[in-house]
Amino acid sequence: MGYRAVPNKSSRYEQNKYNLIYPSKYKGDSSTIYYRSSWERKLYFYLDNEPRVLKWNVEGITIPYEIQINEKWETHRYFPDCYAEIQKRDGTISKTAIEIKPYAETIQPVPPKKDTIKSLENYEYRMKMFLRNLAKWKAAKEYCNK
């Protein structure tokens, strides 16, 4: 299964170990379930308690993707936040990879109105993250369609 590092102690976000309510539904090592935001904690709680969720895990699948950095292509690994097998109302089972992101990280950043060094650095960083996310999501869609 995937690798899940212990969260940083000095983060401003809600981070901790998630304790399973129904361990039989979890695929993997339950001692490695950490949430890094309140959104992840809420998702884990939902997946753990929802009767239609048959199996789930945290960062349990690895998806290779390529991205161009400094004019050369590099291969990296992407670990979606969760994987779940959910029984639909018609009885079929949906296998789903789930990634939690704030909306601002899912849209292309807007160039700054004032060209200060700090604003240009922030814009460049947000653009790199956006392009990295696009590469990850493209690879994830191809992986899931197979």
List, for residues 10-20, the tens digit of each pLDDT value. Answer: 556 678 899 99
How many angstroms separate the Cα of 133 from the Cα of each of 13, 67, 130?
21, 10, 5
Is 10 part of a structural domain of the chain?
no
CA–CA dist 68, 80 (Å, integer) = 20
Is 3 part of a structural domain of the chain?
no
The residue segments making up the domain with residue 105 are: 16-145
Is 2 part of a structural domain of the chain?
no
Is 47 part of a structural domain of the chain?
yes
Is 106 part of a structural domain of the chain?
yes
| Count of the separate structural domains present in the chain | 1
pTM: 0.79
Task: Render pLDDT for 35-62 as a digit per residue (tens, 0 to 9).
Answer: 988 999 999 999 999 999 999 999 989 9
Is 1 part of a structural domain of the chain?
no
**pLDDT recorded at residue 6:** 54
Is 74 part of a structural domain of the chain?
yes
Is 8 part of a structural domain of the chain?
no
Confidence check: pLDDT of 7 > 60: no
Q: What percent of the chain has pLDDT over 90?
A: 68
